[in-house]
A and B are shown apart, each in its own frame.
Chain A
Amino acid sequence: MRSQFNSPIIVLGARFLAPYIMVFGLYVIFHGHYSPGGGFQGGALLAAAILLIRVATGRRVSRLQLKEFATTPLAVIGVVIYFATGLTAMIAGGYFLDYGQLPIPGMDPVWLRYTGILIIEVGVGLAVTAILVMIFDNMVKGEDYA
């Protein structure tokens, strides 16, 4: 992305809008038990907030926000959260992804399943955010060097 917008209106608009989109994305992830939403949708909204800053202000500012090399480890962490949750339940004596067996003391299996769904939603949201930003970064980089 060699050319970037020099208009302060666009930069200001993006700066104004991005935090609210990000908060709404977090709301969609964590409120997915009660309203439509979940990891995929909330992750897409978080990625939209990050990509808005990237498109509007160019590479120098977006480096301060989420560095390009940080996206791949974040995606891997998101997948590993999901897999580790399932594997922990399996080690604790249940089936794979049987959240009722998670070893968290002081909770009955019903609330353990509630918590397990929340944990995997966070993992899915993290992975989706990182992957969407990573796709954008790679396409922009390929455009620059081609």
Chain B
Amino acid sequence: MTSYIINLLVLICVNATLAVTLNFIMGYAGIFSLAHAIFFGIGSYVAAYVALHFTGSLLVILPAAMLISALVGLALALPALRVRGEYFVAASLGLQVIGVTVFSEWKSVTGGIGGVMGFPPASLPGLSFESPTAFLIWSVVMLVLILLAINTLLHSSFGRNLQAIRDSESAALAYGKNVAMIKTLSVVFSSALAATAGVVYAFYMSFVNVESFTLDTSVLVMAMVIIGGTGTIWGPLVGAVLLMLIPSLTSYIPGLPQTEVGSIQQIIYGAAMVLLMIFRPGGIMGGKHGGVK
């Protein structure tokens, strides 16, 4: 395989992990968050910081990244428990804006706008992740593990409670479900899993910078989930593959100046979001009237 294809596949896996974890709260809990890039960022910064100052061992880094991300996830769970719809979108947007400011201003930890670099490669006992192929295997394994974890959870009583809350919160309450606890756990779980994508990404790029964790990233991940199909198993994967392929495909359009490729790509996914919402709100893998209410 050429390095170009390996690179694309690793990035697809990282983005698919983000889309799958976002879909978990969007599609199954009805919590529509625009702050997912923050948890991705926390994973990356924790990985870079721990690797630079302590150890490159993933046995330390992965739990640390997931724990810190889960704690920040609690901050997002607070408004999710109190308000819905437009208020929650605004609250998550707030967390996103505040997070980016902290990422770019907390210079001693995040390196400010310049970012963090020069940290040692990731390692597991007996393994070191340095070749592109090693990263590809690692990112695929992570994605599969997360898919399995989420699938298991969705088929447990916790998952059924979650979907019951999405469909009717008052009915779930009336049945004596602890709505607050279930919602909080789902947000915390999603945040912790999103951080693992950040860890892979940080070591893969061997460079961490706030540019990767802005509102644009949150919107891109949201677009993957929506275009693929909210609340479906395959939707976020299909969305991630499609949106990651668009930049490569647009580079084959003849006569298109290289400087405009980024814009064309954004226009394509913006337009896809509009057209899908009009004609197929459930996304490519979803039903005609599916999706989150």
Asked if chains A and B come from one complex, the reply is no
